[in-house]
Amino acid sequence: MISVQNAYAGYQLGNQRIEAVADISLEIGENEVLGIAGESGCGKSTLLKLLYGQIGSGVEMFDGSIRWRSGKGEVGPEHVKDLWWDEITYIPQIVNILNPVSRIGQQVMESMPARLKKQGQAKVLAYVKAFFADLGLPETVLTSYPHQLSGGMLQRVIVGMASFSKPRLILADEPTTALDVVSQKNILLLLWRLHCEQQNSLVIVSHDMGVHFQITDRIAICYDGKIVEIGPTKEVFENPRHSYTRELIDALPRIDDVERRSGLLSRTPTLSNPPSSRPSSHRKSGMSSVSSLKIENVSKTYSPGGLFSRTRIQAVKSASFEMPSEPSVLALVGESGSGKTTLAKLVLGLEPADTGTITLGNEVICQGRKRGLSAFDLRKRVQSIAQLPFDAFSPYLPVEFYLRRTAKNLCDLADEASQDTAIEEVLTSVGLSLARVRGKYSHQFSGGELQRISIARALLPSPELIVADEPVSMVDASVRMDIINLFSQIRNERGISFLYVTHDLSTAHYLSDQIIIMQTGELIERGKPEEVFSAPKHPYTKKLISSIPRIGVKWTEFEETN
């Protein structure tokens, strides 16, 4: 399908040449699934753009050669665009590439290759409806706008758009990064089924080694712009030859591991050194206790159609639980739409509950729709960490502005010297410094660094509780575990509790002291992580566990033995 020889590629920023791919040679054959693995910045997405032929429009090829074998013969970079959305299709990492003001059906028809359009609109539309129905998408999807669909359905639409022309090659860049485990499994198995039915080749870029183990035939490990190891997936996992491959395989925790993982050493790991050990889970003596969070019979209903709509969605149904006064981590786990983010918003006081009471220690956060603590007092005691760090900071203001504003408003530090001392202390605790941050904007930091700054800002007022809503879902393995280990360290050293909202069962098992499983607004199972995962009682909990892309056990093998 594709032959790459000694390719050097990257980006030209003025006079500066950034080499993201260095001396890569790669052959992609017919009817195979190739995985490309590595953490952010290793060059895997640039390599995928190179394979797509996106040369000259963002990616520059500095040296080497690349050739595509199409149904009409061999093609070079100058003619590869003729194959786009016909013989070669591309699934991007983010689903917001769809036009928000255009209906799905219209966008599907516009993306169709000319050879299909010639068959006439009525015939093609009937084919699209039948094809989408086979993908589990109802006909109403075609008349919907993107914002009316869930993340899983949007990704299914994009997979459908990339595959209905029966291309010879599909390139997928992190196609399931932001999805919960159930949606992730469904999308991956859908891609695998389409690959088997259409007998095409599939290239998947992912930082999740479990994904590669589940569906790829071969895997290429990228590090520092180079492919450091490539081979049959089974062989690479059973006998990794490169130290970086071993670190990637061991980077993330697994729910069936007795030994817990600590992630890669850094954003650009040292290949000769093994991962560091996990921080101790024991509290330090003399640490002050925190107030307990108590939720009693809390419910929340939305009217998605507006004030006069008869449609009601009950996002939270009579939820009750309590966090201990001792510093702890409670993980709230569920797939998208389960109501966990709504419950987190209620705890933060961002929305009123319909019924029920939320208290922090002896203070009422809300009682039904009646607010207790003022927003100012609540923010001093409860802080939040968002899912997308780049959305937490304006691109037009330096990040230092937000740190100083928090220090001034919530810590009563009016003079700059006092602010400097407080900011330096919290930045140091998350592995940064004021000198590193001073005067810089959000785009000048990596996602991991910016999430650390978000954590530092949350630590400034010394809160009793931090609500972290999917804080690591959009980052790669090493950064994910750096942040998870940082949460553990903060709990142990600062005595701060966490309400950890996530769809990632592996990190929930690794970090939490207690875990609650949430489905369609209801709290269906709770307990210690080892109890919930070793002997799940509810069928939904079993479904979540079976959807995790494990290393060592294929999905089909796990389901047969459970």
Q: Would you say residue 265 lies in a domain?
A: no
**Higher pLDDT pick, 64 / 273:** 64
Tell me: pLDDT of 152 over 80: yes
Q: Would you say residue 273 lies in a domain?
A: no
Tokens of 481: 């575990």
Residue 142: what pLDDT? 95
* Range name among 63-67, 151-155, 544-548 with the lowest pLDDT average: 151-155
Q: Would you say residue 515 lies in a domain?
A: yes
Residue 270: what pLDDT? 30
pLDDT band at 278 (very low <50, low <70, confident <90, very high): very low
pLDDT band at 265 (very low <50, low <70, confident <90, very high): very low
**pLDDT tens digit sequence for 413-472:** 999 999 999 999 999 999 999 999 999 999 888 788 899 999 999 999 999 999 999 998
**Higher pLDDT pick, 422 / 92:** 422
Phi and psi for 440 in degrees, rounded to 5? -100, 155
**pLDDT tens digit sequence for 3-31:** 999 999 998 878 888 899 999 999 999 99
Same domain, residue pair 218 and 84:
yes
Non-local CB neighbours of 514 within 8 Å, separated by 6+ positions:
323, 328, 329, 330, 331, 526, 527, 528, 529
Q: Would you say residue 285 lies in a domain?
A: no
**Higher pLDDT pick, 206 / 257:** 206
Tell me: pLDDT of 537 over 90: yes
Q: Would you say residue 280 lies in a domain?
A: no
Same domain, residue pair 312 and 173:
no
Same domain, residue pair 391 and 510:
yes
Same domain, residue pair 192 and 112:
yes
Which of the listed residues 192, 223, 250 is the one where a domain comes to its end? 250
pLDDT band at 131 (very low <50, low <70, confident <90, very high): very high
Which residue type occupies 107? Q
Same domain, residue pair 399 and 465:
yes
pLDDT band at 473 (very low <50, low <70, confident <90, very high): confident
Identity of the highest mean pLDDT range in 47-61, 223-237, 475-489, 547-561: 223-237
Same domain, residue pair 141 and 20:
yes
C-alpha Rg value of the chain to the nearest Å: 25
Domain residue limits at 76: 2-250
Q: To the nearest whole number, what is the mean pLDDT of the chain?
A: 88
Please give the average per-residue pLDDT across 482-500, as a whole number.
Answer: 94
Tell me: pLDDT of 77 over 50: yes
Which residue type occupies 525? E
Residue 479: what pLDDT? 80
Tokens of 112: 């169709």
Please, what is the end-to-end C-alpha distance for the chain in angstroms?
39
Identity of the highest mean pLDDT range in 71-80, 151-160, 210-219, 280-289: 210-219
Same domain, residue pair 470 and 324:
yes
**pLDDT tens digit sequence for 325-371:** 899 999 999 998 899 999 999 999 999 999 999 999 999 999 999 99
pLDDT band at 266 (very low <50, low <70, confident <90, very high): very low
Q: Would you say residue 507 lies in a domain?
A: yes
**pLDDT tens digit sequence for 444-461:** 887 888 999 999 999 999
Q: Would you say residue 284 lies in a domain?
A: no
Tell me: pLDDT of 227 over 50: yes
* Angle ∠(216,222,226) on CA atoms, nearest 5: 135
Same domain, residue pair 454 and 556:
yes
Which of the listed residues 197, 224, 250 is the one where a domain comes to its end? 250
Please give the average per-residue pLDDT across 95-107, as a whole number.
Answer: 90
**CATH number of 110's domain:** 3.40.50.300
Q: Would you say residue 196 lies in a domain?
A: yes
Please give the average per-residue pLDDT across 151-175, as a whole number.
Answer: 92
Tell me the HSE value of 96 on the side-chain side, using a 13 A CA sphere.
1
Same domain, residue pair 21 and 82:
yes
Cβ–Cβ < 8 Å for 111, 161: yes
- pTM of the shown model: 0.83
Nearest to 208 by CA among 194, 199, 219: 219
Residue 41: what pLDDT? 80
Residue 309: what pLDDT? 67
Give the SS3 label for residue 64: strand
Same domain, residue pair 75 and 220:
yes
* Range name among 101-105, 515-519, 554-558 with the lowest pLDDT average: 554-558
Cβ–Cβ < 8 Å for 300, 314: yes
Gap between the Cα atoms of 114 and 133, Å rounded: 23
pLDDT band at 303 (very low <50, low <70, confident <90, very high): confident
Please give the average per-residue pLDDT across 387-401, as a whole number.
Answer: 91
Number of domains in the chain: 2
Gap between the Cα atoms of 38 and 31, Å rounded: 23
Same domain, residue pair 321 and 223:
no
Same domain, residue pair 245 and 321:
no
User: Helices 447-459 & 399-411, crossing angle to 10 degrees?
Assistant: 10
Give the SS3 label for residue 527: strand
pLDDT band at 269 (very low <50, low <70, confident <90, very high): very low
